[in-house]
Amino acid sequence: MLNKVRFSDLIDSIVFKIVKVKAMRSIFVKLIAKQVKNEDIASEVLHKDT
């Protein structure tokens, strides 16, 4: 029982981190897009960086 709880907590924390990173990435793309007025360029720049 304890192992199951710990495992689900681990999965929840991993999912939360992934969601947070994706949200931050989309915000970052939007910020770049505002500056360059083109979301395609912004996502291209982001893909080169990672």
Q: Residue ranges of the alpha helices (H) in the chain?
A: 2-36, 39-49
- So what's the pLDDT on residue 18? 95
Q: Is residue 36 part of a domain?
A: yes
Number of domains in the chain: 1
Q: Which domain holds residue 44?
A: 20-50
**Does 14 map to a domain?**
no
Q: Is the pLDDT reported for residue 50 higher than 60?
A: no
pLDDT digits (tens, 9 = 90+) for 37-46: 766 666 777 7
What does the pLDDT read at residue 13? 94
**Is residue 39 situated within a structural domain?**
yes
Q: What is the pLDDT of residue 12?
A: 93
Taken in order 13, 15, 21, 23, the sign of the CA dihedral is negative
The answer to whether position 9 is within a domain reads no
For 11-35, what is each residue's pLDDT tens digit? Answer: 999 999 999 999 999 998 888 778 7
User: What pLDDT was estimated at residue 23?
Assistant: 94
